[in-house]
Structure 1
């Protein structure tokens, strides 16, 4: 980071991962997109975004947030440029990303990074667009960006942008990444995908009904590495797929149970234990000023 313009000081901002506790496709909309239902769960673990405002209007990426990803295609750069244009900002920013969330795992890494850039720069540049406008901007970057902008666990419908905050009980998760990078667009085109599931209700979810993930059976058939992780994880609990990625998780009521399961599976699968958050750590950072 030493080559950055010394116009300001670096600040650090969390970009948490998320889980989809279920994911159903209930049909197709008139615009051709799939109609989804899901519950987003914020986690207490994720990436870190570092920002340093610039006196000029340049927006630069310091380092590679995702190996091989061109700067112009990086969501953090696109988010900064979008906010700069929307708010007619004369300032610029240097952006560095400490990546922990694996790409293509369905944990929302790119979307969360983009949302953190929008929220943090809104604060640093003093654009004061507000949560609603920032969520609208975020939707132009990706369907999952608005939930990270708002930072609350949520019941979601539409393409994932229609959000209703939901209180979730404390929980701990054993996460495993099979290392498979899933092409989301290609997965949505799969002829094996169930696209006409009966709509679920929030009462169904709260009652503990098994609502499933429409992409799970497709990925388990297509990707041996995903199936292998499911087989191991099934010995310690009920594994689920998150989002449209390859990441698998098992939910536990306590950290102790999750850590015991991790030890049991350690010789056969690489995993980590993370906590479910009552809300995004980004909101806490914004209230604290960074």
Structure 2
């Protein structure tokens, strides 16, 4: 049996640079991962493949599960037929800009690669499978602090980041990524690409200011105006270093000074008065 955490993805910055010929949006994003996430467990059984999902957000899942697709891709690539059971305790909100489904799929792929005795998939092939599953999956397979480019397949590791407490806040809203991107595209807000792939981590955290840049905040607020209220409330918290929205929303975040656990605990207590979903955690330093 194998067990791990599918860690929530946080887009610290996000720019939309255009569209590819295949219709995918081209992005530039500084992406990190938190210590918080879904619990994923996998083990073999003697009957058939089974997927068991529980947890506070299990009932919000609809349609075909990306984890099942990940298993299908793995079986097609390796011809490994041993029946398995996958258990997921769903703690990451669904359609929230935190890449929960992508993180789950990435964890399952990596665990399958460990569980199957001889059916190993190369890192390169794993990345191809990940991209076929979704644009965020390659980053989730890495699990490191990255600069994401292209549709998400161009990854540059940018080094360690400070051990920063982060408060995640979602106003109990599921926001369609497709709808947010469509709203963005209608406004014609594309920016020219920055060809400089080198990223200075220290400059990121010194230069971000009170609001992290995310091109999707405006269209997200148009679809869910409460996001503007969440960001306003977060900016008023004591001890914050920066505030932003992850991905296409609706989850927002507040970053605090390194190792300042007292401020983030007090902030979470304050935010809970609004009835919003919260999770206080840390950004992974690697």
- TM-score interval, smaller chain: 0.7 to 0.9
**Cα gap change, 1:206 to 1:157, in 2 (>3 Å):** farther
> Which residue number corresponds to residue 235 of structure 1?
236
Q: For the residues of structure 2 that align with 1:205 and 1:193, how far apart are their CA atoms?
A: 30
> Which residue number corresponds to residue 77 of structure 2?
86
> Which residue number corresponds to residue 277 of structure 1?
284
Aligned residues: CA RMSD? 2.2
1:41-190 aligned within 5 A: 41-55=32-46, 58-63=48-53, 66-67=58-59, 69=61, 73-126=64-117, 127-167=119-159, 168-190=161-183
How many equivalent residue pairs?
Answer: 268
> Which residue number corresponds to residue 223 of structure 1?
224
Shift of 1:108: 0.9
**1:244 and 2:248 equivalent?**
yes
Structure 1 SS opposite 2:27? strand
> Which residue number corresponds to residue 192 of structure 1?
187
List 4+ stretches of structure 1 deviating above 3 A.
Answer: 63-66, 68-71, 200-206, 208-211, 263-266
Q: For the residues of structure 2 that align with 1:165 and 1:159, how far apart are their CA atoms?
A: 16
Structure 1 SS opposite 2:126? helix
Q: For the residues of structure 2 that align with 1:96 and 1:192, how far apart are their CA atoms?
A: 42
Structure 1 SS opposite 2:112? helix
Structure 2 SS opposite 1:67? helix
Q: For the residues of structure 1 that align with 2:175 and 2:62, how far apart are their CA atoms?
A: 19
Shift of 1:263: 3.5
**1:259 and 2:265 equivalent?**
yes
TM-score (norm 2): 0.86
> Which residue number corresponds to residue 7 of structure 1?
none
Which of the residues 203, 207, 225 maps onto 1:207?
Answer: 203
Structure 2 SS opposite 1:77? helix
Structure 2 SS opposite 1:229? helix
**Mapped contact 1:229–1:269 kept (Cα < 8 A):** no
Structure 1 SS opposite 2:59? coil
Q: For the residues of structure 1 that align with 2:202 and 2:195, how far apart are their CA atoms?
A: 11
Shift of 1:141: 0.5
TM-score (norm 1): 0.85
Q: For the residues of structure 2 that align with 1:200 and 1:240, how far apart are their CA atoms?
A: 24
Structure 1 SS opposite 2:15? strand
Q: For the residues of structure 1 that align with 2:195 and 2:272, how far apart are their CA atoms?
A: 35
Q: For the residues of structure 1 that align with 2:171 and 2:192, how far apart are their CA atoms?
A: 27
> Which residue number corresponds to residue 274 of structure 2?
268
Q: For the residues of structure 1 that align with 2:51 and 2:271, how far apart are their CA atoms?
A: 38
**Cα gap change, 1:68 to 1:180, in 2 (>3 Å):** closer
Moved more, 107-116 or 247-256: 247-256
Structure 2 SS opposite 1:218? helix
Moved more, 40-49 or 214-223: 214-223
| Ranges in structure 2 where 5+ consecutive residues have no aligned partner | none
